[in-house]
Amino acid sequence: MGQRSRTLESLDVNPEFWRDKRVFLTGHTGFKGSWLSLWLQEMGAQVTGFALAPDGAASLFTRADAGRNMHSIIGDVRDYAALQTALYNARPEIVIHMAAQALVRSSYADPVSTYAINVMGTVHLLEAVRHTQSVRAIVNVTTDKCYENREWVWGYRESEAMGGHDPYSSSKACSELVSASFRKSFFAPGHNVALATARAGNVIGGGDYAVDRLIPDVVAAFAADAPARIRNPHAVRPWQHVMEPLCGYLMLGQALFENGTTYADAWNFGPNADDTQPVEWIVRHMAQLWGPQARWEIDAGEHPHEAHMLRLDTSKANRQLRWTPQMDLRSALDWVTQWYRDANRGSAARELTLNQIRAYQARLQTTSRQ
Ligand SMILES: NC(=O)c1ccc[n+]([C@@H]2O[C@H](COP(=O)([O-])OP(=O)(O)OC[C@H]3O[C@@H](n4cnc5c(N)ncnc54)[C@H](O)[C@@H]3O)[C@@H](O)[C@H]2O)c1
Please give the Cα distance from 270 to 202 (Å, whole number): 8
Q: CA-to-CA distance for 72 and 77, rounded, in angstroms?
A: 14
CATH number at residue 124: 3.40.50.720
Looking at per-residue pLDDT, the higher value among 261 and 89 belongs to 89
At 16 the pLDDT is 95
Mean pLDDT over residues 70-88, rounded?
98
Q: How close is the Cα of 24 to the center of ligand 1, in Å?
A: 15
pLDDT in tens, 98-111: 999 999 999 999 99
Q: Which of 98, 112, 169, 269 to mutate to test the pocket of ligand 1 (most atoms within 8 A of CB)?
A: 98
Q: With respect to residue 3, please indicate whether it lies within any of the assigned structural domains.
A: no
- The answer, yes or no, to whether any atom of ligand 1 lies below 6 A from the CB of 27, is yes
Question: Is 268 within the bounds of a domain?
Answer: yes
Q: Relative to the CA of 78, which ligand 1 atom is closest?
A: 31
Q: Is 149 in contact with 165 (CB distance < 8 Å)?
A: yes
pLDDT band at residue 303 using 50, 70 and 90 as cut-offs: confident
pLDDT at 78 over 90: yes
Distance 98 CA to ligand 1 centre (A): 6
Average pLDDT over residues 77-84: 98
Phi, psi dihedral angles at 262 (to 5 degrees): -55, -35
Cβ–ligand 1 distance for 51 under 6 Å, the answer: yes
- Beta carbons within 10 angstroms of residue 151's beta carbon: 8
CA atoms within 13 A on the CB side of 235: 16
More confident residue, 164 or 299: 164
Burial (Cβ within 10 Å: 0-12, 13-18, ≥19) of residue 294: buried
Q: What is the pLDDT of residue 312?
A: 92
Give the mean pLDDT of 263-291: 92
**10 part of a folded domain:** no
CA 101 – ligand 1 centroid, Å: 6
Q: Is the pLDDT assigned to residue 25 strictly greater than 90?
A: yes
Res 6: pLDDT: 35
pLDDT top residue among 6 and 45: 45
Ligand 1 in contact with 40 (CB < 6 A)? no
Q: What integer is the mean pLDDT of 117-122?
A: 98
* pLDDT at position 191: 86
CB atoms within 10 A of CB 40: 24
Nearest-angstrom CA–CA distance, 116 and 103: 14
**Residue range 54-59: mean pLDDT, rounded:** 88
Q: What is the CA radius of gyration of the chain?
A: 19
161-213 per-position pLDDT tens digit: 999 999 999 999 999 999 999 999 999 888 899 999 999 988 999 999 887 78
- Relative to beta strand 137-141, strand 46-51 is unpaired
| Domain-embedded: residue 204 | yes
pLDDT beyond 80 at 3: no
How many Å is the maximal CA-CA distance in the chain? Answer: 60
Mutate to test the pocket of ligand 1, among 32, 63, 144 (most ligand atoms within 8 A of CB): 32
Rounded to an integer, the average pLDDT of 236-263 is 95
Ligand 1: distance of its center to the CA of 22 in Å?
Answer: 21
Domain membership flag for residue 8: no
- Residue 22 domain flag: yes
Per the structure, the complete domain to which residue 124 belongs is given by: 15-369
Nearest CA to ligand 1 atom 10: 98
Nearest alpha-carbon partner for 172 in 144, 202, 203, 211:
144
pLDDT at 11: 61
Mean pLDDT of the chain: 92
3-class SS string, the chain: CCCCCCCCCCCCCCHHHHCCCEEEEECCCCHHHHHHHHHHHHCCCEEEEEECCCCCCCCHHHHCCCCCCCEEEECCCCCHHHHHHHHHHHCCCEEEECCCCCCHHHHHHCHHHHHHHHHHHHHHHHHHHHCCCCCCEEEEECCHHHECCCCCCCCECCCCCECCCCHHHHHHHHHHHHHHHHHHHCCCCCCCCEEEEEEECEEECCCCCCCCCHHHHHHHHHHCCCCEEECCCCCEEEEEECHHHHHHHHHHHHHHHHHHHHHCCEEEECCCHHHEEEHHHHHHHHHHHHCCCCCEEECCCCCCCCCCECCECCHHHHHHHCCCCCCCHHHHHHHHHHHHHHHHCCCCHHHHHHHHHHHHHHHHHHHHHC
Site to substitute for ligand 1 among 52, 170, 252, 336, most atoms within 8 A of C-beta: 52
> 29 pLDDT exceeds 50?
yes
| 1 within a domain of the structure (yes/no) | no
Contact of 67 with 59, CB cutoff 8 Å: no
**Out of 7-21, 57-71, 302-316, which region has the weakest mean confidence (pLDDT)?**
7-21
**Closest among 52, 62, 55 to 27, alpha carbons compared:** 52
The phi, psi pair for 266, rounded to 5°, reads -95, 145
- Residue 6 in domain: no
Return the ligand 1 atom nearest residue 141 CA. Answer: 41
Question: Is the pLDDT confidence value at 325 over 90?
Answer: yes
Which pLDDT value is given to residue 182? Answer: 98
Please determine, for residue 335, whether its predicted confidence score (pLDDT) is greater than 60: yes
How many structural domains does the chain have? 1
Contact 201, 270 (CB under 8 A): yes
Give the list of residues 6+ apart from residue 169 with CB closer than 8 angstroms, or none.
104, 107, 143, 145, 146, 149, 163, 307
